[in-house]
Structure 1
């Protein structure tokens, strides 16, 4: 056991009282050092005894035990199972939240309701007026007057005057030409100049289009006496405009046998906004 003894320093500043304190401190440490040294010796002795006992043991094998052999065969490892890759999860796009507008910077958009379409007026087909039936006037029977027998006088034959006969037949023929025929003759076409019809404002606003078929009667002088709608365009305003235009037409007199007669024909009037 090594015991370290410190020397009492000598020099200036060390007096007798401090030397006494140092000596007492050394005395109090002596039992601690002694106990520590004794514990170390005990541990060293126990370690030496343990080493000697292990070295004296002999390894003995039992000869009576049967000798067994072990055969080891190497087997190839099975291939690893295929790694199933899960399908990628596609995240649904998240709709961006609308930005919150403040009352200072927000603008309000008010959608106007589309204008309601105007209700189309119901088609009113013009009623065809029945043609007046001209009843023949009954012939008046002259009253029977009893004639007294007159004695016959000698007759003098008068020669007819050819000039007077021609003069009487001329005005009769002129009157026949001036009078319209009782029933107009239907013809496929007549040369007429029809003015352009006016496009009604209401029909234009409603985008109404169509074709009107008008039947017209023309007198021997080429003037339109009557115009009726045969096939409507579907719009009453267009039908009236077509009839007005046809009534203002001027036609060439239709000649037959050298004489002008009344005829009846059909005229189409088209209304198209693209023109």
Structure 2
């Protein structure tokens, strides 16, 4: 019998951290932005996905939560009662900086989306790693704008 050639594993495509990976015990929490800001506990665990030769660890924004400022809640959005959730696709460099930030899913209000993009452009990330080597990757960052009564 002839040996069957092994196919290379498919490339890893990062999904939104909105839902916990299969091996993670709990769902990560999105970043809430509230009118009077209330501190919340950050999730600090990095998700990892095994690959053919080396382990691949996804980029992470939660570990730097305290150093990543929340987006400003625009006054006009507050006065009009606008709320929403925006999903941002962030290209993270090997150095942990945001190379590009784009709206993946709009909150429904352009001013909220723009505020989220401007804040996340300044964020620092824990870069993805292939083995021990930092690599560029992309991550989906959820930002929730909520008014408290």
Check whether TM > 0.5.
yes
Give the Å deviation of 1:205: 1.1
Larger Rg: 1
Matched residues in 1 for 2:100 and 2:13: separation?
Answer: 14
Q: State whether structure 2 residue 109 is matched by structure 1 residue 245.
A: no
Matched residues in 2 for 1:270 and 1:258: separation?
Answer: 33
Q: State whether structure 2 residue 110 is matched by structure 1 residue 236.
A: yes
Q: State whether structure 2 residue 75 is matched by structure 1 residue 201.
A: yes
1:187 is aligned to 14
Are the equivalent residues in 1 in contact too, given 2:59–2:92 (CA < 8 A)? Answer: no
Give the match's secondary structure for 1:251.
coil
Q: State whether structure 2 residue 88 is matched by structure 1 residue 261.
A: no
Matched residues in 2 for 1:186 and 1:226: separation?
Answer: 17
Matched residues in 2 for 1:186 and 1:200: separation?
Answer: 33
Matched residues in 2 for 1:242 and 1:212: separation?
Answer: 8
What TM-score do you get using the length of structure 2 for normalisation?
A: 0.56
Give the Å deviation of 1:224: 0.4
Are the equivalent residues in 1 in contact too, given 2:59–2:129 (CA < 8 A)? Answer: no
Are the equivalent residues in 2 in contact too, given 1:217–1:225 (CA < 8 A)? Answer: yes
Deviations along 1:109-129, one digit per CA (max 9) or x if unpaired, are xxxxxxxxxxxxxxxxxxxxx
